[in-house]
Structure 1
Amino acid sequence: MQRPLAGLNRGNLVRELTAGVTLLAIAIPLNIGYAQIAGLPPTAGLYALIVPTVVYALLVSSRQLVVSPDAAAAALVASSIGGLATAGSVDYASLALAQAIICGILFVLMAFFKLGFLANFLSKPILVGFVGGLALDILVSQIAKMLGVKIDSGGEFTEKVVGLVSGLGTANLWSVVIAAVAVAVLLIGKRLARAVPWALVVLILATALVVAADLVDTGVDVLGEVPAGPPTITWPVIEWSSWFVLIPSAIALTLITTAEGLLVSRSYAERNGYKTSPNRDLFAFGLGNIAAGASGSFAMGSSTSRTAAMDQVGSRTQLPSLVLAVGTLLLLIFGTALLADIPSPAIGAIVAVAILPLLGIRDFAAFWRADRFEFAIAAVCFVVTLFVGSIPGIVVAFVLALINLAKRAANPAIDVLQRGGTPTESLLMGAPAGSITAPGIIVIRLAAPLFFANADVFSQSVHNAVRAADGLRYLIVDMEAVTDVDVTGAESFAALKVWLATHNVELGFSRVRPDARERLRQLGMLGDERVFPTNRAAIEELVPDTE
């Protein structure tokens, strides 16, 4: 099992600690905003950064994925609980805590039943499309902050765009200036000195400017006051019927986090050369959400924007999350007054710059050049996630994955290794072409499991090969790549055996995998037919019979 804080060493300790300070500066204002979207007090967002973050960081296999409530989860919390209680009330908060605990239980169950493999069905085009849709949705909200335009950050994408465009006339000049300078500093600074925590520099300078020039009076939006005090361990006390009512929305939240979290985790792992364990990550999400529900917070998932920000500053461990937890705790106890004057345009600029690479523009261009079908998969997933929502995006992603898998499995490579007496190097396992003449023998190889999607294709390929051969007496099926057979494939093969018998062609097998042999016998595919260890052995044994 991978140790906690994998990847941490003396060489990167300072960088990781600095990244933690940057994450602290980004996460605190964002979590306050997400708590407000969810209809909860700002402290609910800050509490998520302490106990749940520590639990997650010590358990997760991903070295970079940052856990936290995000905009999509916050919006779903508000929409699902809003009809059950009044936002801001004690009952509302209790329902939010219960919802987080249910999410945690669902994650633990998924980990126990090892359902993390579901992430393997999501190819790179699906990953790029899904994450890109989420990134663009987040980007619109950040642009609105940068301009000082008020929009519903928890609404649908089209609503956000309409609100942004219609509100351009209300844009605040000082907000635009702060955002523009922040973007310039972040982009130029990254090129000049990548190791410098430019996001933190931007926040400090922007806050100093707001205070010195008294820009709040000009309309620049700031965070405002946040109540002080550490989180306390609690447990939601609600009716049993309320627990059951929360299950559907908890399932939705779990699906969103599973799809986004595992996809983003895998994306960064592949990019930076380390391995992750999806089931372990699900378990970490589970205990993290239970901790959130027991410490006054709400449902948590992965944060695409903060993970991107950490990647940009070079972080490759979970140490920044622990720094974030300690810093948030100290801030809640001693320094909530420091948060009041942080300008929202600067926060929006930091997140916007971090999120740009996740739009996948270069990846889309590469898909277009390489494979139009892969491009279409990425585009459909992007559009559905963006315009319909995260949950439909998840469903479409899995459906597209299955379609893509079935499309490729339905057209496997089927090699005719011997036709009409001219042997090939593939057939003879490296022997020179022409070294053995084997008239009347065909060796055919299916480079995939035999199942319902490709059974007919394989059968037709055999028919065509047999009809094209003169004086054919033996058909040898190379089974090395056939790792499994389903009932439909077996029934199709049974019909093929009857057809071969009517054409006086004897059937045999070569290179049957030991782990598949019993399965073939159970399905009736392997009976009295001869089984050869290699293609060479089949030819050498049958050649005398053909002369």
Structure 2
Amino acid sequence: MRLLPEWLAHYQKTKLPGDLTAGLIVTVMLIPQSLAYAMLAGLPPEIGLYASVLPLVAYALLGSSMTLAVGPVAVASLMTASALQPLAQPGSEQYVVLAATLAFLSGIMLLAFGLLRLGFLANFLSHPVISGFISGSAILITVSQLKHLFGLTTNAGNVFQEVYQLLALLPQANPATTALGLGTLIFLFFARTYLSGVLQKIGLKQKTASLISRLAPMVAVIVSIITVAQWDLAAEAGVAIVGEVPAGLPSLNVLVPNMNHLAALWLPALLISLVGFVESVSVAQSLALKRQERIQPNRELLGLGAANMASALSGGYPVTGGFARSVVNFAAGANTPLAGVISAVLMAIVIASLTGLFHHLPQAVLSATIIIAVTALVDFSTFKAAWQYDRADALSLVVTLIGVLLLGVEAGVLIGVALSLAVLVWRSSRPHIAIVGRVPGTEHFRNVRRHKVDTLPNLLALRVDESLFFANASLVQSHIERCVAANPKVEYVLLLCPAVNQIDSTALEALTQLQESLSAKGIQFMLAEVKGPVMDRLHETHLGRALEGLIFLSAHDAFKFVEERNLDSLAFSR
């Protein structure tokens, strides 16, 4: 059994410069994000720093991506706050314990899913649902942070009440806080949108310019700390600051959740695990494709599970792969997960000795950092594409987004999953059924409404383009019976099954009834192009025995069978 991960067992020195550079750059980016996302989650700022050390090492040992950057992210932070705020006072000791418990449960679930090879569970969250959920969460996060930009306090119940209260309280905004918050927001927007282009015009390479522009949040943090400290804006102008951030590495604690915590947190932990896994895998796969690397979903489950267990052990909260950090990690030259380990070491140094530097950091600057990060997650392009191609998918996206805004993140994602499954069942319950004929001079069969084909007057040949199960069995049976009733010349009914991967017991009963009903009318029921696994199950059924000799390998064979019968009948009549 190999104790070291493959990337470490075969590590090459030539990869070290890229990993060192990426580790340093990602650390500079990770510091303000960790502080900001901890605030978003309702946790003390140091908790975000704690969640940025051991989880990175744990993922490096078990994950499959060479460039995914794991740590606190906006959506998981919002989901953490949503799960914990009804249970404890944000920032309290109990709240911190519950956050670590949530990470512990998420880690256990992800590890279990990985060991059971359940990576396919991510398929229950369609792309429109994920897009609607993340877009709704981004809007929620943005609105929730606006009060910090202006130094206001609100107690709204939902996003619309929050906006109403903010507009009403705007005249009471703190001038210094507003200047810092809006100034940082404008600077970060400029950096994200235009700075790279400006730097390229003055001679920097595209890659270097892009990296510098992504480090703008750290520049904003440094400048704002100096500004607040220089003019003592916390005392003189009432600017809310981070305050004391305890120095020293976190102590390691083994959590033993009680039953009350388990009952309250298992569902949020499951949703955080699924959403985080889907988000991480999508980011990891998009980056891996650029280097012709492969991502193993079940390994990702193990890596993310270990990262969350490590976060819980070190007093953190749920973590997952971050899009922005991963892109920077990739662009900075990361070759292996060693870049993440280097970031973890550097973060440990910051926690051990440099946390005092963050005392004067304004909360408004952290809020601006969060807003700029999450507004990029609002996804209009997916809605536009879905609306043009498939209105049902567009509806899933919109309903999920509205559910998140009105009912919260947990209810929103559950509504999205339920709607996706409902749409799947609805589509499957209305399968496409085509009457087919033979393309002249060939053995191919196509829809009579789309192609010029030959048919036999006494043969009704239909193709069903879906598996047969309880939701569509009755509809298929009724459709065939209506087609037979509309054509009194029919003596043979042929059902083509090239797309039928399964026939459940309800569908089997419906086909048996159909066969018996047609037989009573003197009409022979036939099947063709039945797949092997389906045929294996049909053999021992009443329907299989009744159709002995009437199940054909191909539609062409069935047509030949009817043609020969027609010739025999014509010869007999003469």
- The answer to whether TM tops 0.5 is yes
2:475 is paired with a residue of what secondary structure? helix
- 1:478–1:511 contact (8 Å) kept in structure 2: yes
1:417 is paired with a residue of what secondary structure? strand
Relative to structure 1, is the Cα distance of residues 498 and 543 closer, same or farther in structure 2, using a 3 angstrom cutoff? same
Name the residue aligned to 1:175. Answer: 181
Alignment of 1:167-246 (within 5 A): 167-169=169-171, 170-171=173-174, 172-192=178-198, 193=206, 194-204=209-219, 207-208=222-223, 210-211=225-226, 214-217=230-233, 218-236=237-255, 243-246=258-261
Whether 2:374 is the aligned partner of 1:355: answer: yes
How much does 1:107 deviate? 2.8
* Paired letter, 2:474: D
1:475 is paired with a residue of what secondary structure? strand
1: CA distance, partners of 2:134 / 2:563 = 58
How much does 1:87 deviate? 6.0
Name the residue aligned to 1:255. Answer: 270
Report how many aligned residue pairs link the two structures. 529
Alignment of 1:94-493 (within 5 A): 94=97, 96-145=99-148, 147-151=149-153, 156-158=158-160, 160-169=162-171, 170-171=173-174, 172-192=178-198, 193=206, 194-204=209-219, 207-208=222-223, 210-211=225-226, 214-217=230-233, 218-236=237-255, 243-265=258-280, 267-268=282-283, 274=289, 276-298=295-317, 300-302=318-320, 306-308=322-324, 310-311=326-327, 315=331, 321-418=340-437, 423-424=438-439, 428-429=443-444, 438-493=456-511
- 1:487–1:523 contact (8 Å) kept in structure 2: no
Give the unaligned 5+ runs of structure 1. Answer: none
1:66 to 66, 70, 74: 70
Whether 2:524 is the aligned partner of 1:506: answer: yes
Relative to structure 1, is the Cα distance of residues 285 and 212 closer, same or farther in structure 2, using a 3 angstrom cutoff? closer
Name the residue aligned to 2:53. Answer: 50
Relative to structure 2, which stretch is displaced further, 45-54 or 104-113? 104-113
1:532 to 528, 547, 552: 552
2: CA distance, partners of 1:251 / 1:508 = 51
How much does 1:308 deviate? 3.6
How much does 1:272 deviate? 5.4
Relative to structure 1, is the Cα distance of residues 301 and 335 closer, same or farther in structure 2, using a 3 angstrom cutoff? closer
* Paired letter, 2:513: A
* Paired letter, 1:546: N
1:456-512 per-position Cα deviation (integer Å, ceiling 9, x unaligned): 221122123323335322222212211001121111111111121122111222111
RMSD: 3.7
Relative to structure 1, is the Cα distance of residues 114 and 26 closer, same or farther in structure 2, using a 3 angstrom cutoff? same
Relative to structure 1, is the Cα distance of residues 196 and 153 closer, same or farther in structure 2, using a 3 angstrom cutoff? farther
Give the unaligned 5+ runs of structure 2. Answer: 199-205, 568-574
Relative to structure 1, is the Cα distance of residues 73 and 219 closer, same or farther in structure 2, using a 3 angstrom cutoff? same
* Paired letter, 2:502: D
Relative to structure 1, is the Cα distance of residues 354 and 101 closer, same or farther in structure 2, using a 3 angstrom cutoff? closer
- 1:66–1:307 contact (8 Å) kept in structure 2: no
Relative to structure 1, is the Cα distance of residues 390 and 39 closer, same or farther in structure 2, using a 3 angstrom cutoff? closer
2:85 is paired with a residue of what secondary structure? helix
1:264 is paired with a residue of what secondary structure? helix
TM-score, normalised with respect to structure 1: 0.84
Relative to structure 2, which stretch is displaced further, 184-193 or 407-416? 184-193
* Paired letter, 1:541: F
- 1:466–1:472 contact (8 Å) kept in structure 2: yes
1:195 is paired with a residue of what secondary structure? helix
Relative to structure 1, is the Cα distance of residues 485 and 61 closer, same or farther in structure 2, using a 3 angstrom cutoff? farther
Relative to structure 1, is the Cα distance of residues 276 and 392 closer, same or farther in structure 2, using a 3 angstrom cutoff? farther
2: CA distance, partners of 1:195 / 1:495 = 67
1:484 is paired with a residue of what secondary structure? coil
How much does 1:265 deviate? 3.2
2: CA distance, partners of 1:400 / 1:522 = 37
* Paired letter, 1:490: L
2: CA distance, partners of 1:265 / 1:201 = 24
- 2:492–2:524 contact (8 Å) kept in structure 1: yes
Matched-pair identity in %: 25
TM-score, normalised with respect to structure 2: 0.80
